[in-house]
Amino acid sequence: MQTLEKINHSKGNDVKLCVIQEPPVYLDLAKTMERACELIGSAAAQGAELIVFPEAWFPGYPTFVWRLAPGAGMGKSDELFALLQDNSIDRINGGLDPLRDAAAEHGVVLVVGYNELDSGMSGSTLFNSCAVIDADGSIVNNHRKLMPTNPERMVWGFGDASGLRVVETAVGRVGTLICWENYMPLARFALYAQGIDILCAPTWDSGDTWLATMQHIAREGGCWVVGCATSLETSDIPEGIPFYDELFPNKEEWINPGDAVVYRPFGGQMAGPMHKEKGFLLADLDPSEARASRRKFDASGHYARPDVFNLTINRSPSQPATFTD
């Protein structure tokens, strides 16, 4: 592993960001991992130092839960879930190692949205997770989505707050919230209170309302905000996926337009949105702008009023069983 050098937060040390707005090889982890490593190499060749992948990109967001009737589609969703389960990442047994190797090889920080299979618990439950991998290949944080939304609860278990952290990386202090976690005021505040420079928001959401949320967080939190969903068309879905024609009858459909976007600390669009396009969204960020912007409004500092408001966060890992031999 290469020696990790943390950036100096003094003014003028820009970081080259690359948001990946390319589709995975849907529900095929091996091919998706291969594609990811190629994309990382290509982004690094363009100078990227921070590379962000969307929510559940490995091996694809389970959009089928929104497209099957809750009752009539139960057996079909079982079959699709089993396929997703077989192609999810087991972090405990080294499933992120190819990405760790790629991060170290190219000296880049990765923010990776993925379906996580926890072999250390039941070996069956999936989590919607986001890992931060530093430029030396070390996993510096793994956050599991606290609250899956509506039918997502048929796919993912509930995460705990053990990964609700802002971590120091080679590009600054990075935190992540997944999709509609960004609508949770207390989850946002938990990250603001840890001196965040860059908030990455891997998502499946898109459109004006989502973009307004990203803008609001940049102003509220005084931090860089990176929003990114998977840009995906029906033509990107392999025809061999079970119930392909039923799930994707419109062969010309944009399933998700992507809308990758970057907002400056205290608000103001920096790059994007990248709508119905595929490729890389590139931007130069100065992490020091985040702390400087909070002179005007610091949600967890001079605007916090701790005499009136106080937030307690339980970050101890939640385990369903404890074994004593």
The tokens describing 298, both together, are 């610091």
Q: Which spans in the chain are helix H?
A: 29-45, 74-86, 97-106, 185-192, 208-221, 244-247, 288-293
Which residue in 130, 179, 223, 228 is the catalytic one? 179
Q: How far apart are CA 86 and CA 28, in angstroms?
A: 9
- Domain span at residue 247 reads 15-293
Alpha-carbon distance values, 17 to 61, 100, 199, 296 (Å): 23, 18, 12, 26
Instruction: State the pTM of this model.
Output: 0.94
**Terminal Cα distance for the chain, rounded:** 37
Residue 55 annotated to the active site: yes
The torsion angles phi and psi of 243, rounded to 5 degrees, stand at 60, 30
Residue 179 annotated to the active site: yes
Span 90-114, pLDDT tens digits:
999 999 999 999 999 999 999 999 9
Q: How far apart are CA 55 and CA 43, in angstroms?
A: 19
The pLDDT of residue 121 is 83
Q: Is residue 265 part of a domain?
A: yes
The pLDDT of residue 4 is 39
Which residue is it, tokens 């600054």? 172
The torsion angles phi and psi of 280, rounded to 5 degrees, stand at -115, 135
In one-letter notation, the amino acid at residue 287 is: P
Mean pLDDT over residues 72-80, rounded? 83
Residue 148's Cβ-side half-sphere holds a number of Cα atoms within 13 Å equal to 21
Alpha-carbon distance values, 322 to 120, 159, 318, 319 (Å): 12, 18, 10, 7
Q: Which of 29, 53, 56 is nearest to 39 (CA)?
A: 53
Which residue is it, tokens 């050098």? 5
The count of other CB atoms within 10 Å of the CB of residue 143 is 26
pLDDT at 3 over 60: no
The pLDDT of residue 75 is 85
Number of domains in the chain: 1
The pLDDT of residue 7 is 44
Q: How far apart are CA 181 and CA 89, in angstroms?
A: 22
Which residue is it, tokens 């699709």? 80
Q: Is residue 316 part of a domain?
A: no
SS3 call for 222: coil
The torsion angles phi and psi of 43, rounded to 5 degrees, stand at -65, -40
| Burial degree of 222 (CB within 10 A; 0-12, 13-18, 19+) | buried
Q: How far apart are CA 130 and CA 280, in angstroms?
A: 19
Q: How far apart are CA 74 and CA 51, in angstroms?
A: 36
Residue 223 annotated to the active site: no
Q: Is residue 1 part of a domain?
A: no
Peptide bond into 273 cis (omega under 30): yes
Q: What is the CATH classification number for the domain harbouring 154?
A: 3.60.110.10
The pLDDT of residue 2 is 35
Q: Is residue 303 part of a domain?
A: no
Q: Which residues contact 318 (CB under 8 A, 6 or more apart)?
A: 160, 162
Give 319's pLDDT tier (boundaries 50, 70, 90). confident
Q: Is residue 10 part of a domain?
A: no
Span 242-284, pLDDT tens digits:
999 999 999 999 999 999 999 999 989 999 999 999 999 999 9
SS3 call for 143: strand
- Chain centre to alpha carbon of residue 56: 7
The pLDDT of residue 11 is 53
The tokens describing 215, both together, are 């803008």
Which residue in 16, 145, 228, 233 is the catalytic one? 145
Which residue in 55, 116, 181, 233 is the catalytic one? 55
